[in-house]
Amino acid sequence: MTIRLKIEESNEFQEIEITIRCPEIDERLSRLIRQINQMMYSFTVTKDDAVFSIQSSDVLYIETVDNASFLYTQEDVYESELKLYEFENQLKNTRFLRVSKHMMVNTSKIESVRALLNGRFEATLENGEMVIVNRHYAKYFESIS
C-alpha cells in the first residue's frame, strides 16, 4: 500500500487536524498512528522547584522510585506527581510500553535490543542507557518493537 501525504496550509485554519483515509490499518500505518498520538501528549513536571512542560516524544523512559515518578530525557531528569499506571493510561496507543513493574520505555528511543536469559530483553536507548525488559512484559514488548 502506498502512502501519500497531503498538507494544506492556510491562515483560515484554527487548529491542526490529521485525517487518515485507508482501506485497512496495517502494521506500518499502526506505527505511524502511535507516533502521531504520542506527539499530542505533554507533561507538567518539576526540576529544582521549577515547573516545566515537556513533550512525551522527548521522554526516553519513565521510572518510579520510592513512590515518585521520574521522566528521563536526553538532557535532564524531571519529577512528576503522576503514578506509573496513570502514565500508562494516558500513553495508551503510543510508542510507550511498560517493561517492568517500575518502568515504561519510549520504544521509538530504542537503538538496539538483545535477548537475555529467562525470557528477558536488554534494550539500549539513544543515550546509551540500558534497560531490562522483564519477562512478564516481554510478549508486549516483542509485539510493538
Amino acid at the residue 48: D
Domain boundaries, the chain: 27-144
| The predicted structure's pLDDT at residue 87 | 93
Average pLDDT of adjacent 10-residue blocks, the chain of 145 residues = 85 88 87 77 91 92 95 96 92 87 93 86 92 81 56
User: How far apart, in whole angstroms, are the C-alpha atoms of residue 134 and residue 56?
Assistant: 23
**Tally of CB atoms within 10 A around 29:** 14
CATH architecture of 27-144: Beta Barrel (2.40)
| The predicted structure's pLDDT at residue 128 | 93
**Tally of CB atoms within 10 A around 119:** 12
Q: Which residue has the cell 499506571?
A: 85
| The predicted structure's pLDDT at residue 48 | 95
Q: How far is CA 104 from CA 46, 58, 65, 68, 85, in A?
A: 19, 14, 13, 14, 10
Please name which of 79, 44, 46 lies closest in space to residue 63, comparing C-alpha atoms. Answer: 79
Amino acid at the residue 29: L
pLDDT in tens, 101-126: 999 999 989 999 888 888 888 999 99
